[in-house]
Amino acid sequence: MNKLRILAWTLLLIVLMGTGIADSQSVSSSQRVLAYSAKPSPHPNSFLLKSPHGVTYRLSLVPELDVKKHVVVLDLVLQKPGQTEDDPNLLDSTGKLHGYQPYVFPASDFAGGAHKSAYGESRVLNLQKLGMALQIKVADVHVETTPAGSSQGLGYQFDDLTLEITTQKLAEGSSNKPGQ
């Protein structure tokens, strides 16, 4: 009877350890896919993201349209859930940044493919105030020229953009510069 009890406890321990190992692997692998598509897509354009510190945020791809309603820019926006679109983007560390930032994806920058874009296929955003870093990889992108007669001349619009997003706990003393 003691041997049977020991065997049962051993099997239970093995099962519990296996569950713990599987859980720890899923926690460390926090890669998610975020996408914009002009056509129906299986990937979301917004999802809830849990930081390494357990705080929940909403990460979204927000389109910017030209006067002819072409999606010419996609902004990566991080906000606390329940906030309005007008609330600040937490990826903009100062609230004053302008121009081409690593969380801004203009269609014209991808005319030659992701590898030829200004930031390349991968970028990292260190979010010192949030204690995390976002690694962003452009997994797939397709742009096309805007139709003739556009008021801005030869421009580009998005057909689709797929990003692979990975979160990591930010090491102490890391830079506060976006994209570093």
Task: Tell me, yes or no, whether 74 and 117 share the same domain.
Answer: yes
Residue 34 has pLDDT above 50, yes or no: yes
Tell me what the pLDDT averaged over the chain comes to: 79
- Provide the residue range defining the domain that includes 22: 1-30
Residue 178 lies in a domain: no
Query: In the numeric block, which tokens belong to residue 80?
Result: 């606390």
What distance in Å separates the CA atoms of residue 22 and residue 16, rounded to the nearest whole number?
10
- Band (10; pLDDT cuts 50, 70, 90): very low
Stretch 3-29: mean pLDDT, rounded?
A: 38
d(CA 125, CA 85): 21
Asked if 147 and 102 sit in the same domain, the reply is yes
What are the pLDDT digits (tens) for 124-141? Answer: 999 998 999 999 999 999
Instruction: Tell me, yes or no, whether 98 and 63 share the same domain.
Output: yes
- Non-local CB neighbours of 70 within 8 Å, separated by 6+ positions: 146, 150, 155, 157
Note whether 49 and 138 are same-domain residues: yes
Decide if 140 is inside a domain.
yes
Place of tokens 């397709």: 142
Q: What is the pLDDT of residue 137?
A: 97
- 51 or 140, greater pLDDT: 140
pLDDT at 97: 64
Domain assignment of residue 71, yes or no? yes
CB–CB of 121/114 below 8 Å? yes
- Count structural domains, the chain: 2
Q: Read off the pLDDT band of 31 (50, 70, 90).
A: confident
Q: Which residues contact 155 (CB under 8 A, 6 or more apart)?
A: 66, 70, 72, 107, 108, 145, 146
The model's pLDDT over 77-124, given as tens digits with 9 standing for 90+, comes to 999 988 777 788 999 877 666 778 999 999 999 999 999 999 999 999
Say whether both 24 and 39 belong to one domain: no
Residues 14 and 77 in one domain: no
Same domain as 22, residue 86: no
Burial class (CB in 10 A: 0-12, 13-18, 19+), 36: buried
Q: Please indicate, yes or no, if residue 152 is contained in any of the structural domains.
A: yes
CB 121 within 8 A of CB 138: yes
Report residue 90 as tokens. Answer: 């937490």
